[in-house]
Structure formats: C-alpha cells, structure tokens
Amino acid sequence: MTGNTDFDLFKISEDHEALREAVRAVADDKIAPHAAEVDEKSEFPQAALDALVASDFHAPHIAEEYDGVGADALATCIVIEEVARACASSSLIPAVNKLGSMPVILGASDEVKAKYLPPVAKGEAMFSYGLSEREAGSDTASMKCKAKKDGDFYVLNGQKSWITNAGVSQFYTVLAVTDPDGERGRNISAFVVEKDDEGFGFGEPERKLGIKGSPTRELHFDSCRIPADRIIGQEGEGLKIALRTLDHTRVTIGAQAVGIAQGALDYALGYVKERKQFGKAIAEFQGLQFMLGDMAMKLEAARQMVYVAAAKSERGDADLPFFGAAAKCFASDVAMEVTTDAVQLLGGAGYVKDHPVERMMRDAKITQIYEGTNQIQRMVMARQLLKR
C-alpha cells in the first residue's frame, strides 16, 4: 500500500452517474423480469445478453481501437454492479468477458488482440477464462493441463474446471504447462482456444447453489491442436499474466457483490415498509431499523472500497494487488451478510421463491469463492503488507 493521504482516489463523474442510470434502466426493463425464470430453469440469460449487446454494456472495457466503447475500470464496475442488482447470472456476461479477455489485453501480441478483441466488443463472441483444475484450484501452479509444441502448433491435453459461461463463449484463455521439467510457476503459458477447435469439448453443466443462469462446465482437451501464434505473451509467462489479470478482475467481483447486496437491500426496504405486524409497519421497529442501518453502512463501505480499487486498476497502481483483494473479500462478505439479513427481514416470505432475496442470498455465496477464495484474498493482503 502507498500509505498516502490523497483522498482523490476516484471520482464519480456526471458521465458515470449517467451511465448508472442507463444501465439500471436496461436492467430493470430487460433483465430483472427474466431473473427468476433464469434461476428456476438454469437457463443462460439470452434476453440479458441481447439487451446488453444492444446497449454496448456486454464488454464495456474493450478499447475503442478494437471497436469497443473504451469504458474505464470504474465505469465497467458500475455496469456490472447495476446488472447484478437485477440478476447476478446476467452480470457475469460483462464480468467474464473482461476476465477472459484481460490476459489478451495485458500480454498478447498486437495480432492476437486485433483478431480476438473486436468480435467480443461487437457482441459477436464471448470470452471465458480457463485456469482452475480439479486438483489445482487455489494452488494454480500445480495444474496438469499440458501444451506441447509441435512445429507451428501446440497440442493441448488435460482439463479445466469451474469455467464460467463454458459452452456459450466462443473464445477461451487457457493456461497450460509448456515445460514439464521447468521451474514451478514459470513453466506455464497462456493460449487462446476457440470453441470449434478439434479436440476441444465440454463437460456436463454443474448443478449449482446459485448463479444458475451462467453455465459452469469443465473444459476437456484431447490432443487439441491450435496454431502456435495463439500464445499470449511468451512461453513461461502464462501464470504471471493470469495473476495480473486477477488483480484487475477481482475488483469486478467486488462490484458484482455490491450489486447483489444492493438489490437485496432495496427489496427488503420496500417489504418492511409495507408489511404490518402489531398494528404498524415492521419498518417502525427499532430492532429492524438497526439491521437496516448496518446493512446500508456496510454496503456503502464495500462500494467505496470497490470504487477505490477500480481507480487503482485503471491507473495500474503498484498497490492494486492489496486493494483488489481487499475490495473483493470485503464486498463479498458484506453481500453474504446483507442478503442473509434481507431474508431474515422478510421472515417466512424471505425463504420462498415468491420473493427474490433467497435467490440473491444463494447468488451471493459464490462471490466469496471464485476468483480466489476469501481465505486466499487474506493471504494476498497479508503478503502485500509484509513486503512493505
């Protein structure tokens, strides 16, 4: 951390607030009405994708030179936050497009960027991220997926687990060992794999607690042969690029968590003002007011942490690893607490699917787990502190 006293870490401009209003309008009109059905049927939110593409909110982070809108990191977080307020599954469209394409943005050649970023920016393709394996989750360096050089090609063999939007995305950033005898962590490279590549397939969709509208599947590579020029960066740089990617994209998971929590708080506020017990609205009871105050206070603290981290992501500050981890960790813990309290505020009504807060509580849980568990985030933060 820098330890400075400069409070101008981020600024919410009029453009950012106008963006928020625009995204919220799309989310309320085109996404929220389908959220319960998407969850109930575990269906990909196609209506949300169509609406986000039509409004250029599906991959706002891609630069104008690649046919994108060139939104800054804070604007991208606002998009994800507002979509998550309506439907967490749908918010994974812009979030995972950034996650999947960020390695390309950070480390790929100009040719690879020019080939793969414009289709995503135009809404013609989505981009997923293949890092984790069954036995290599938090311990990413122990991955077994291999890519062997064969002339002008690499041949991939192995698998990846827990891949968000797998089967829907056309492009995949995949990490694989290219030097089995090399130094651990420095023997991994990153590649772009296309959905139609021969030898590339998918496992069955996972049956999940939440974010059911976003398919999560394994990636399978059976002598999958890809052109060597699809490598991202140089051989051996893959894990470094992957971890740099997570420094930036953990901030977007914090934004997703804030959005989910905001949706739950908004719904609970409406409910407690209408629900009557003992002859008056339950919002008038002091015990519930204390709950509401705590929920809003923690949510706002989480939002500020996410926005500060987003500003640091945009600038590429040296202390981004700490702030990205802190924002993701704190915001996701807050989302779990706020959504659980929202269910409690609705009482028995909160426990049934007639109301959205039980879905929001289930959706919130994954934000404490993916892109690094919150236990890993605390290790990241501690290591950053110990480096000072």
State pLDDT tens for residues 233-265: 999 999 999 999 999 999 999 999 999 999 999
Last residue of a domain, one of 104, 121, 138: 121
Q: What is the spatial distance between Cα 61 and Cα 93, in angstroms, rounded to a whole number?
A: 12
Last residue of a domain, one of 96, 121, 146: 121
CA 342 to chain CA centroid, nearest Å: 23
Task: With CA atoms as reference, report the closest residue to 121 among 168, 52, 184, 174.
Answer: 52
Same domain as 71, residue 24: yes
Per residue in 317-352, pLDDT (tens digit) is: 999 999 999 999 999 999 999 999 999 999 999 999
Q: What is the DSSP letter of 234?
A: S
Asked if 309 contacts 326 with a C-beta cutoff of 8 angstroms, the reply is yes
Q: What is the DSSP letter of 29?
A: I
Letter string b/e over residues 343-377, b meaning 16 or more CB atoms within 10 A of that residue's CB:
bebbeeebeeeebbbbbbbbbbbbbbebbbebebb
Active-site residues: which are they?
371
Same domain as 256, residue 383: yes
Q: What is the DSSP letter of 83?
A: H
The amino acid occupying position 5 is T
pLDDT the model gives residue 295: 98
The two three-digit tokens of residue 337, written as one number? 């607490």
Asked if 378 contacts 387 with a C-beta cutoff of 8 angstroms, the reply is no
Report the relative pairing of strands 200-202 and 231-232 from DSSP bridges: unpaired
What's the structural domain count of the chain?
A: 3
Same domain as 264, residue 373: yes
Residue 8: inside a domain: no
Per residue in 174-201, pLDDT (tens digit) is: 999 999 999 999 999 999 999 999 999 9
Q: Which residue has the tokens 């290599």?
A: 136
Same domain as 73, residue 115: yes
Same domain as 201, residue 322: no
Residue 10's pLDDT band (boundaries 50, 70, 90)?
Answer: low
Residue 331: inside a domain: yes
Last residue of a domain, one of 187, 203, 236: 236
Same domain as 383, residue 244: yes
Q: Which residue has the tokens 């945009």?
A: 314
Per residue in 340-385, pLDDT (tens digit) is: 999 999 999 999 999 999 999 999 999 999 999 999 999 999 999 9
Per residue in 130-153, pLDDT (tens digit) is: 999 999 999 999 999 999 999 999
Same domain as 173, residue 136: yes
Task: Name the residue range of residue 94's domain.
Answer: 14-121
Letter string b/e over residues 160-195, b meaning 16 or more CB atoms within 10 A of that residue's CB:
bbbbbbbbbbebbbbbbbbbeeeeeeebbbbbbbeb
pLDDT the model gives residue 351: 98
